């Protein structure tokens, strides 16, 4: 992939705690020294789709840098799926699941180099009840944690630890029927993960066979409930025990909740309670700038 000639920087001004003006200034300086044309768009959370589509059509950038959290990255990815361009990610804020899975640098200067670099990776998307998912979505336990953390008053590490305990105290098992392109089965579950990627933003691996560019996703069903193991899993200090999970591979699937509605989240965004999830892979949906795997 050649180095970019026209770059659009989309930046969420409220994401993370980093100095956004400094980030924009750094990229402006690089644009002057490396000779690429630059446009900057700051999201407003309301009219972004229309505004970005207009810039894409008029300016036709060959690279779009997205600076924000997972929420921003998913929203912009949903627009860029209709364009032939490369996405460079500049993760801001706390746990960035997609960036962790792609092995992107946490240092912002190194991150800019990678986002503007020549190495790229094709990324499958997942369509989940009409929402675009890029890395890990789930029903049950972790979705409850996402909900509790969003509703909780304490931010950061301590707020997260508090909500892990709260979540486990509320936790319950649920029954589902899972139909994929190759099998149908019914089971009781504590959490069902729909995985394109391998790990959560905390770094905990829940889908060891996940490959974000293989045209498939995995459904990981954990049936066993062990308080300590689940606390460690949610806190990101252990991996999912292969003894207590079933993993099936699919290109499309339907998960029906048989006795109650179940909480659902996509890439860290809580989407409420659902009776069913319809999932479908969207193969090679996006091209993302990544570090050189050889170095």
Binding interface with ligand ATP (CB under 6 A): 12-15, 43-45, 68-72, 93-96, 268-269
71 or 208, CB closer to ligand ATP? 71
3-state secondary structure the chain: CCCCCEEEEEECCCCCCCCHHHHHHHHHHHHHHHCCEEEEEECCCCCHHHHHHHHHHHHCCCEEEEEECHHHHHHHHHHHCCCCCEEEEEECCCCCHHHHHHCCCCCHHHHHHHHCCCCEEEEEEEEECCEEECCEEEEEHHHHHHHHHHHCCCCHHHHHHHHHHHHHHHCCCEEEEEEECCCEEEEEECEEEEECCCECCCCCECCCCCCCCCCCEEEEEECCCCHHHHHHHHHCCCCCCHHHEEEEEECEEEEEECCCCEEEEECCEEEEEECEEEEEEEEEEEEEECCCCCC
Smallest gap from Cβ 96 to ligand ATP, in A, equals: 5
Smallest gap from Cβ 13 to ligand ATP, in A, equals: 5
Smallest gap from Cβ 21 to ligand ATP, in A, equals: 14
267 neighbors 98 (Cβ within 8 angstroms): yes
15 or 38, CB closer to ligand ATP? 15
Quick one: tokens of 77?
Answer: 């990815």
69 or 195, CB closer to ligand ATP? 69
Smallest gap from Cβ 138 to ligand ATP, in A, equals: 15
194 or 219, CB closer to ligand ATP? 194
Smallest gap from Cβ 197 to ligand ATP, in A, equals: 14
For CA atoms 136, 139, 141, 145, the dihedral sign is positive
51 or 95, CB closer to ligand ATP? 95
Smallest gap from Cβ 48 to ligand ATP, in A, equals: 7
In the numeric block, the tokens 């956004």 are attached to 20
Smallest gap from Cβ 182 to ligand ATP, in A, equals: 33
22 or 183, CB closer to ligand ATP? 22
78 or 239, CB closer to ligand ATP? 78
Smallest gap from Cβ 71 to ligand ATP, in A, equals: 3
26 or 94, CB closer to ligand ATP? 94
């Amino acid at each position: 992939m050649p180095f970019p000639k026209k770059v659009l920087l989309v930046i969420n001004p409220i994401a993370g705690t980093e100095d956004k003006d400094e980030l924009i200034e750094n990229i402006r300086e690089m644009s002057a020294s490396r000779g690429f044309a630059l446009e900057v768009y700051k999201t407003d959370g309301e009219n972004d789709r229309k505004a970005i589509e207009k810039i894409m059509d008029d300016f036709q950038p060959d690279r779009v840098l997205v600076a924000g959290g997972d929420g921003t990255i998913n929203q912009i990815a949903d627009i860029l799926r209709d364009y032939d361009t490369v996405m460079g990610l500049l993760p801001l804020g706390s746990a960035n699941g997609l960036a962790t899975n792609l092995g992107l640098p946490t240092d912002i200067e190194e991150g800019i180099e990678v986002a503007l670099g020549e190495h790229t990776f094709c990324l499958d998307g997942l369509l989940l009840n009409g929402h675009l998912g890029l890395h890990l979505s789930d029903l049950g336990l972790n979705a409850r944690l996402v909900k509790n953390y969003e509703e909780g008053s304490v931010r950061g590490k301590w707020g997260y630890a508090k909500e892990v305990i709260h979540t486990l105290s509320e936790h319950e098992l649920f029954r589902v029927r899972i139909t994929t392109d190759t099998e149908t089965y019914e089971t009781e579950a504590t959490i069902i993960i729909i995985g394109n990627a391998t790990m959560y933003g905390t770094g905990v691996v829940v889908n060891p066979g996940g490959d974000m560019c293989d045209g498939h996703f995995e459904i990981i069903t954990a049936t066993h409930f062990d308080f300590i193991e689940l606390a460690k899993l949610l806190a990101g200090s252990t991996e999912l025990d292969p003894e207590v999970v079933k993993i099936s591979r699919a290109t499309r699937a339907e998960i029906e909740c048989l006795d109650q509605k179940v909480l659902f989240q996509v890439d860290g965004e809580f989407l409420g309670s659902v009776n069913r999830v319809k999932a479908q892979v969207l193969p090679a949906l996006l091209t993302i700038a990544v570090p050189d795997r050889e170095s």
